[in-house]
């Protein structure tokens, strides 16, 4: 079974490369007088993940295929040919983060940045029975406990305030310890070690990765706060400023 799974992952990677290249050719076709330049223009850096594993390289090419990724706005829905080319043969969803330029097959991946726009880590999301499992790795944060939540909107222009409040589709109070809580977006504190690094696994209770559901976290954001979440105080547990975050594709 494991051998079969590995074959599916390689097949998925090959289909993803082909789909992205196919899309670039379509865009190039719209400019017949400068086809070569158009194809060259459509190749740029993109992050490419399969079930949370990063298959991209520093120069933007595919580590396994050596094929540069294409630039157009793809894929965003089940009717998109490139998305079907990738997801149908392996029966896994494709997630596209337009702003962060990342392609995720199987599990969405969230790139995390600080207020200066510097990368501080990433998180991988996975659907489980009654929630979403979040696996996060981060660095460059202040040692100690930090509030960590799903916020209702995607971050716009690097401004963490644009993410709005906690994701709260059931109109509850804040806090995993609040008897009248909690928000769907509430999670345990992220604990950062003495070396300013953190590695954790936690659950977004009652959340889902299914599209068009009221409790879906797709298209929202993950936010890390400066201080500890006290688990009970509205609206955010007195966890302080927003110091890092990233958009869920």
Q: Kindly list the catalytic residues.
A: 149, 151, 166, 174, 183, 186, 225, 242
Give me 245's structure tokens.
């975050």
Give me 122's structure tokens.
């990433």
- Using DSSP's 3-state secondary structure scheme, residue 87 falls into helix
CB 112 within 8 A of CB 199: no
Give me 30's structure tokens.
């719209």
In order of 97, 137, 156, 241, the CA distances from 161 in angstroms are 19, 23, 9, 9
Owner of token pair 């979403």 = 132
Give me 26's structure tokens.
């379509």
| Rounded-to-integer distance, Cα 213 and Cα 216, Å | 5
Long-range pairs for 211-216: beta carbons < 8 A, 24 or more residues apart: 214/169, 215/169, 215/170, 215/184
Which residues in 42-142 belong to E strands, given as ranges? 47-50, 53-54, 94-97, 102-105, 109-114, 119-128, 131-139
């Amino acid at each position: 079974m494991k051998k079969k799974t590995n074959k599916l992952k390689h097949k998925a990677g090959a289909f993803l490369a082909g789909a992205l290249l196919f899309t670039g050719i379509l865009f190039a076709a719209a400019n017949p007088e400068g086809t070569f330049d158009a194809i060259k223009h459509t190749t740029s850096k993109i992050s490419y993940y399969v079930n949370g594993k990063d298959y991209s390289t520093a120069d933007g090419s595919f580590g396994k295929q050596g094929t540069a990724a294409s630039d157009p706005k793809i894929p965003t829905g089940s009717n998109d040919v490139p998305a079907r080319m990738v997801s149908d043969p392996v029966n896994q969803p494709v997630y596209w983060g337009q702003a962060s330029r990342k392609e995720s097959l199987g599990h969405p991946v969230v790139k995390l940045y600080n207020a200066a726009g510097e990368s501080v880590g990433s998180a991988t999301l996975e659907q489980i029975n009654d929630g979403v499992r979040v696996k996060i790795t981060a660095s460059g944060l202040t040692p100690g406990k930090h509030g960590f939540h799903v916020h209702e909107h995607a971050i716009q222009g690097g401004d963490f305030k644009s993410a709005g409040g906690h994701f709260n589709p059931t109109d509850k109070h804040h806090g995993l310890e609040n008897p009248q809580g909690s928000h769907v977006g509430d999670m345990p504190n992220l604990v950062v070690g003495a070396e300013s690094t953190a590695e954790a696994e936690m659950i977004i209770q009652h959340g889902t990765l299914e599209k068009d559901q009221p409790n879906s976290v797709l298209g929202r954001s993950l936010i890390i706060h400066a201080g500890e979440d006290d688990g009970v105080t509205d609206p955010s547990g007195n966890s302080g400023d927003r110091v890092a975050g990233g958009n869920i594709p």
